[in-house]
Structure 1
Amino acid sequence: MKLLGKLYIQVLIAMALAIALGLIAPDLAVQMKPLGTAFIALLKMLLGPIIFFTVVHGIAHIGDFRRLGRIGIKTLVYFEVVSTLAMLVGFTVVSLVRPGDGLHASLTTLGSEAASSSAAVAADSFSLGHFMMSIIPRTLASAFVDGDILPVLFVSVLVGIALAQCAKPDWVGLRLLTEGQTVVFKLLSYIMRLSPLGAFGAMSAAVGSYGHSTLLYLLRYILTYYASTLIFIFLVLGSVAALAGLSLLKILRVIKEEAIIAMGTASSEAAFPRLVDKLKQAGCDEAVVGFVLPAGYSFNIDGACLYMACGLGFLAQATDTSLSLGQQISLLGVMMLTSKGGAGAAGGAVIKLAATLQSVKVLPMGAVGLLFGIDRILAIATSTTNVIGNSVAVFVICRWEKLFDRERFDAYLAPSNATRSAPLKPLEENSP
């Protein structure tokens, strides 16, 4: 009975029940979708305030702006290198397994134009200038209204720098900032109690909508994609963690609840609020968490990079399109740009894939429709990989900057540590 009190156990049970309902009564399962949608909406409601308070609080207390600049440069370099490795893994696995061979989907895609029309519209509007301008909000308030991470991060960094330069250590505004964090995370603790319901609704709708026929038709690709995520997590991220003197398995133990929540809801945003608090409890510096984690949700979306690389390879095989080495390199370069932003948005990865196809035009846009039926199934692995990748990034950057508390990390993983299964506490209580 004690195990049933743990949130991740409740989420796993909810997922199992959802899969059973989706297979036994698919029509009823589809009607459960509002539970998942509502839960994600509740979390998105708090996403802006959590990013704002976390980033501003971290930067306002960092003191040394040379260190902030150094962290920023290392973070961006890390993101680009690891994201590129994710794409290379995706391309390699799909090229070896070749799950699309034999589909001859050129005729199939004629019936998917309507399904892919929304992706095409989003792709048409994509450009480097548009991406850069989307970072700057129309007003300070609109950054928190639209729900995009990049504008909120942009405003939060500016406010944090201004506070760090202007505010005195005993200024009442800094105390209010800490109190604001406490209130927001208290609200979060209430919402997270609903995560089993959210996972149940999202998973029920996915299984009930697509059923076994679609899964059987594209089963080889689904298994190929899941294999690529596992290879990336344990080979690439495991090696990166080992080079930094860390154990990937121990990191996974720390974030297992958040990874399961992302898996159950198929949304990496669902795990973000808890990750902020969890990583600090596990020995990561507050300033690094406050900067690297929000930035990672826009610039280090490893799962989306894998999705795009695997998707492009699969669609090329399915439509009998031969891609030269030069075309593959060009696609890789375009994906480095189109993969940025909107990590946890529903259907975000397939929209980015459509943007890439629209930019390069080496594959028919209608081919994207092949992935619409299984996008939700693929999103489970995509979101979980995003969460794991960004968590590893925080630990690695902390190690590089010598801001990682090994004793707190080991103490957090100790069997006697009760905080692992405890509800989230206000940040001021978790700070060293």
Structure 2
Amino acid sequence: MQTIKKSLFLQVIIALIFGCVVGFFFPQYTKDFQVLGDAFVKLVKMLIAPLVFCVVVLGIYGAGDLKKAGKVGLKTILYFEVMTTVALLLGVVVAYIFKPGAGMHIDVHSLDAASLSKYNENVHSVTNFSDFFLNLIPQTAVGAFTGAEVLQVVLFAIIFGIALSYLPNDVKDPVASAIDKVSQVIFKMMGLIVKLAPIGVFGAVAFTVGKYGLSSLMNLGYLVVLYYACVIFFVVVILGGILRLFGFNIFKLIRYLKEEILVVCGTASSDSVLPQVMNKLTQLGIKNTTVSLVVPSGYSFNLDGFSIYLTLAVVFIAQATGTALSLHDLMMILIITLFTSKGAHGIPASAIVVLAATLNSFPAIPAVGLVLILSIDWIIGIIRAVSNLIGNCVAAVVIGAWEKDLDFERAHQVLNHPELAKAAETDFVDDAMVLPFPVAKDLN
């Protein structure tokens, strides 16, 4: 009992099992349980903007060398774009090899478009660089924190951090110290919220099982199975191969992140573990300046699992509705999705919304075909969020190694013996909080 009380991992496992049991045997009582999962994710999202601001500003301030920080940023964006392109291509290739929608012969006139109305309200079509670039800039400084775009917060924090670094020491040191103190409060708040993770997981799982049945967690058709297999291939072979080049094992990294992955499985949202992941990557031996730049920006720029699903789902809808696609059409889809995939984070029901934006930008495929995949979005969203999380963690390791900001010896020790890292690692359920960066007075 004491072990369960101390272990978030075991608590979430129990919540998952309990949620399945309650949802299966008492489905009539679970229709309102989704509020528990949604509330937990909203509580975490409430703190993401100020948290990202603090860690990015302190990361730039602590780096000292702005040229170095800029070089890390450019390499990060380059890596993200390469991996996004690979993921998008993989989705297209898998869809064409296995043809999940072939033979369905769906009559688009028989589909009820009314169920898409709530998603179309959030559609923002981004089909060129100008739209994407302008969307990075908030209307106001306050708007960066009140909106749902984490990249707007990152942009504001980068400009703030650079400006702060140019100021004299008697000005910038007190400001950095104040931001550091605020960040400590935010991390303490996050520590309190994370204790609620098992409740959020229970509510989300109980609702889903009650609504769709227990089979919804195991078998929702060929498309689901194909997508899961595709994502597993991407994580194990592609991401695993990249890690292997730097001497690391993908399975050991997954084991190290097992608690965070389990929370993501329950909530179908990687937002719910952003602070814990950043802390764990720092404890792994990656410099906090690199973690603070790579991970928050990766939540919008590096959505590997989402990118795979985007092209796979588009081609699936085309096949299901009998829409023929030429090589030119495929190239256009890839170009469009390179932009629309960047707008996924922070949008409610992001996959459906961004898919709608993609199809609106490519009218040859009937957008009403999205109705076909509405019922499986949650189960798809589980591994989609997990793969996004793992992809960003791999990115942090790769950029850290690339920039020599990674302590290889410590990383191998932690991954080979994760229990040894517990003494130094913040569990976010302990009373003592350890920030993923040094306090302001130690930064210079």
Q: Same fold (TM over 0.5)?
A: yes
Query: Mean Cα displacement is larger for which, 263-272 or 339-348?
Result: 339-348
Distance 2:393 2:223 in 1: 27
| Residues 81-118 of structure 1: CA deviation (Å, up to 9, x unaligned) | 111111122222222222222322224x6333011233
Q: 2:179 aligns with which of 177, 180, 184?
A: 177
Query: Mean Cα displacement is larger for which, 13-22 or 49-58?
Result: 13-22
1:84 is the counterpart of 2:85: yes
Provide structure 1 residue ranges, at least 5 long, that are not aligned to the other structure.
none
Q: Which residue of 2 aligns with 1:310?
A: 312
Equivalent residues in 2 for 1:112-123, closer than 5 Å: 112-123=112-123
| Residues 191-225 of structure 1: CA deviation (Å, up to 9, x unaligned) | 00000111111122222223368789941111111
Contact between 1:91 and 1:310, CA under 8 Å: does it hold in 2? yes
Query: Mean Cα displacement is larger for which, 358-367 or 144-153?
Result: 144-153
Q: Which residue of 2 aligns with 1:187?
A: 189
Q: CA deviation at 1:231?
A: 0.7
Distance 1:101 1:33 in 2: 34
Distance 1:27 1:313 in 2: 36
Structure 1 residues 300 and 290, CA gap change in structure 2 (3 angstroms) = same
Q: Which amino acid aligns with 1:247?
A: N
Distance 1:317 1:212 in 2: 28
Q: Which residue of 2 aligns with 1:40?
A: 41
Q: Which residue of 2 aligns with 1:52?
A: 53
Query: Mean Cα displacement is larger for which, 331-340 or 211-220?
Result: 211-220
* Partner SS for 2:213: helix
Equivalent residues in 2 for 1:366-385, closer than 5 Å: 366-385=368-387
Q: Which residue of 1 aligns with 2:22?
A: 21
Q: Which amino acid aligns with 1:288?
A: T
1:100 is the counterpart of 2:101: yes
Q: Which amino acid aligns with 1:256?
A: K
Contact between 1:186 and 1:426, CA under 8 Å: does it hold in 2? yes
Q: Which residue of 1 aligns with 2:339?
A: 337
Q: CA deviation at 1:122?
A: 3.7
Q: 1:208 aligns with which of 206, 210, 233?
A: 210
| Residues 21-79 of structure 1: CA deviation (Å, up to 9, x unaligned) | 22222222222111111101110111011101110000011111221121111111100
Contact between 2:426 and 2:433, CA under 8 Å: does it hold in 1? no
Query: Mean Cα displacement is larger for which, 1-10 or 302-311?
Result: 1-10
Q: CA deviation at 1:245?
A: 2.6
Contact between 1:14 and 1:200, CA under 8 Å: does it hold in 2? yes
Q: Which residue of 2 aligns with 1:416?
A: 420
Structure 1 residues 96 and 22, CA gap change in structure 2 (3 angstroms) = farther
Contact between 1:26 and 1:208, CA under 8 Å: does it hold in 2? yes
Q: Which residue of 1 aligns with 2:433?
A: 426
Distance 1:212 1:189 in 2: 32
Contact between 2:298 and 2:392, CA under 8 Å: does it hold in 1? yes
Structure 1 residues 275 and 11, CA gap change in structure 2 (3 angstroms) = same
Distance 2:37 2:286 in 1: 31
Equivalent residues in 2 for 1:380-419, closer than 5 Å: 380-413=382-415, 414=417, 415-419=419-423
Q: CA deviation at 1:134?
A: 2.5
* Partner SS for 1:382: helix
Q: CA deviation at 1:187?
A: 0.8
Contact between 1:412 and 1:420, CA under 8 Å: does it hold in 2? no
Distance 1:213 1:202 in 2: 15
Q: CA deviation at 1:325?
A: 1.9
Equivalent residues in 2 for 1:216-235, closer than 5 Å: 218-235=220-237
Contact between 1:185 and 1:426, CA under 8 Å: does it hold in 2? yes
| Residues 143-176 of structure 1: CA deviation (Å, up to 9, x unaligned) | 1112321211111111111111114288222222
Q: CA deviation at 1:429?
A: 7.7
Structure 1 residues 272 and 138, CA gap change in structure 2 (3 angstroms) = same
Distance 2:122 2:179 in 1: 37
Q: Which amino acid aligns with 2:71?
A: R
Kindly, what percent of the aligned residue pairs are identical? 35
Distance 2:48 2:212 in 1: 30
Provide structure 2 residue ranges, at least 5 long, that are not aligned to the other structure.
none
Q: Which amino acid aligns with 2:38?
A: T
Q: Which residue of 1 aligns with 2:63?
A: 62
Q: Which amino acid aligns with 2:341?
A: S
Distance 1:239 1:429 in 2: 28
Q: Which amino acid aligns with 1:373?
A: S
| Residues 230-252 of structure 1: CA deviation (Å, up to 9, x unaligned) | 01100111111112332212221
Query: Mean Cα displacement is larger for which, 18-27 or 190-199?
Result: 18-27
Q: CA deviation at 1:265?
A: 0.3
Structure 1 residues 98 and 300, CA gap change in structure 2 (3 angstroms) = same
Distance 2:7 2:267 in 1: 17
| Residues 359-406 of structure 1: CA deviation (Å, up to 9, x unaligned) | 011210100111111111111011111100001000100000001012
* Partner SS for 1:233: helix
Distance 2:141 2:173 in 1: 23
* Partner SS for 2:285: coil
Equivalent residues in 2 for 1:250-265, closer than 5 Å: 250-265=252-267
Structure 1 residues 428 and 268, CA gap change in structure 2 (3 angstroms) = closer
Structure 1 residues 194 and 296, CA gap change in structure 2 (3 angstroms) = same
Alignment RMSD: 2.3
* Partner SS for 2:359: helix
Q: Which residue of 2 aligns with 1:152?
A: 153
